[in-house]
Each structure stands twice: as structure tokens, then as C-alpha cells.
Amino acid sequence: MYGLIGKMNAAPGQRDAVIAILRQSTSKLPGCLSYVIALDPTDSDGIWITEVWDSQASHDASLQLPAVQQAIAQARPLIAGFGPRYETEPVGGAGLEG
């Protein structure tokens, strides 16, 4: 499995709009075992995203999907930047076989 944990910084006041775009575009991603979008409780513009994929290839392929490309284009003007990003190797957990 392949995992990512990263922080996205929405432009001031745009966090809810960015989250709406993310939620709409991540409901059906081939190979995605888990995609969690979370509010940063200490940063009113911060969004944490935790992803688990069956492989890095599935993650990379997802970035080419038309729905994902459209979401990226729609969200780009609402994103101020990105914080830390960590790659992980999930080995199991609730809802995951490993």
C-alpha cells in the first residue's frame, strides 16, 4: 500500500469551498482505499488530507483522471499553499487489509 499525509492551506475564508471541491472529486478513485479530509483545529485555513492507496501507481494514475484534473483547476485559485507532506507505507488498520 501507499499513503500520503499532507496539509493544504486554503486562501483566507476559502476553506469550506476547497473542502467542497475535494469532497466532490474524491468519491470514486480507482485504487483509493481511504481518503480523509480533516479540518485543522488550530488553523482556520488549514486542511489535512490522509490518503491510502493500493499502490503508488494508482495514486499517480488518479491525478490524470478528468474529474481530478477539473477539481485541481477549480481549487487552484482558492489554495494559498501547501504545508508538510509525508509519504507512508500503510500496513493495516480499520477498513484496510494488509
pLDDT, one tens digit per residue, over 35-80 is 999 999 999 999 999 999 999 999 999 999 998 999 999 999 999 9
Residue 90's Cβ-count burial label (10 Å; 0-12, 13-18, 19+) is middle
Instruction: Give pTM, 2 decimals.
Output: 0.90
pLDDT value for 98: 52
pLDDT band at 94 (very low <50, low <70, confident <90, very high): confident
Strand-pairing partners, residue 35, are 51
- CA dist 6 and 19 (Å) reads 14
Q: Which of 38, 39, 52 is nearest to 87 (CA)?
A: 52
Left (φ > 0), alpha (ψ -120 to 50) or beta: where does 97 sit? beta
Q: Which domains are seen in the chain, by residue range?
A: 2-88 (3.30.70.100)
pLDDT, one tens digit per residue, over 3-27 is 999 999 999 999 999 999 999 887 7
Non-local (6+) Cβ contacts of 83 within 8 A are 6, 7, 8, 9, 46
Q: Which of 33, 36, 37, 35 is nearest to 17 (CA)?
A: 37
pLDDT value for 37: 96
